Structure 1
Amino acid sequence: MSTLSLWTRRDPFAEFDALFRAVGEPRGFVPAAEIERDGDDAVVRLELPGLDAERDVTVEIEGGRLVVRGERRDERTEERGGRSLREVRYGSFHRSFGLPEHVTADDVSASYDAGVLTVRVAGAHAGSGARRIPVNTGTPAIESGEQAAA
């Protein structure tokens, strides 16, 4: 029988973090994203609780992509004695989403409320509806010099 202690003196993620640092993976986290269509607009929501959006987050159009990057800072300065459990990830993050060619920076707006960054891309779906292509059913053109079989 094995037991699991909810409180331990050892950081439960220390070995996992050390493994990633050893193989050169970037530190940080990947915020959860949700993308939905609102009419012709695309709305991207990223969960970013505990950030100062003005200081810690940038939203840019870069090479035909919507790029959101930033950093969640661990600003605790005091060492806490005793036991602790730490599940919040700190560090830098980077998310990138492809955009249609016609989207410019003027089409993008962003707001931050209650830990959620909302980015609206106006007109992202404009003109993206299906268009029917007519299919010709007539006799194909006959190259010159050939006779049509009767």
Structure 2
Amino acid sequence: MSTVSLWTRRDPFAEFDALVRSAFSPVAARRGFVPAAEVTRDGEDAVVRVELPGLDVEKDVTVEVDRGRLVVRGERRDERTDERDGRSLREVRYGSFRRSFALPQHVTADAVTGSYEAGVLTLRVAAAYTGTEPRRVAIAQK
């Protein structure tokens, strides 16, 4: 987000216009939302956690290994209707998402297992760190 400075001759209306255009552009509409994710190490395994609260993971989420990447993608659809005093309020939130994580060459789809609990998708990549320890190279002196 840009800032407006009192000491420059920027046009604040032009900056606001650019901000609105970028927010409502077709590219922004395709972006959807980006769920938070973390990757941690547990021994030789990699553990990927992706926050996906309120999703039906069996219906709305796909996890696959594609060309050396662990790909988590799906769509969030949330519709709520509230009726009070003869008035109806309907709120609709939706958006697609895609997160991908690089995998070592030796990892296949068989090494990935997953579970979903309390809005968090947890994927364990077995033996992801096997053979990745750095090795010291001896330097010969002449």
Shared fold, TM over 0.5: yes
Q: Which runs of 5+ in 2 are unaligned?
A: 1-18
The residue correspondences of 1:135-150 to structure 2 (distance < 5 A) are 135-138=139-142
Q: Which residue of 1 aligns with 2:102?
A: 98
Deviation at 1:91, TM superposition (A): 1.2
The number of equivalent residue pairs is: 120
Deviation at 1:89, TM superposition (A): 5.2
TM-score by length of 2: 0.73
Q: Which residue of 1 aligns with 2:126?
A: 122
What is the Cα-based RMSD across aligned positions, in Å? 2.7
Q: Which runs of 5+ in 1 are unaligned?
A: 1-15, 139-150
TM-score by length of 1: 0.70
Residues 48-85 of structure 1: per-residue CA shift (max 9 Å, x gap)? 00000100101000111000001111234x4754779x
Q: Tell me the percent identity.
A: 60
Identify the structure with the greater strand proportion. 2
**C-alpha spacing 1:27/1:130, structure 2 compared with 1 (3 Å):** closer
Q: Which residue of 2 aligns with 1:20?
A: 23
Contact 1:29 1:89 in 2 (8 A): no
The residue correspondences of 1:1-150 to structure 2 (distance < 5 A) are 20-25=23-28, 26-76=30-80, 78=81, 81=87, 90-138=94-142
| One-letter amino acid matched to 1:113 | E
Identify the structure with the greater helix proportion. 2
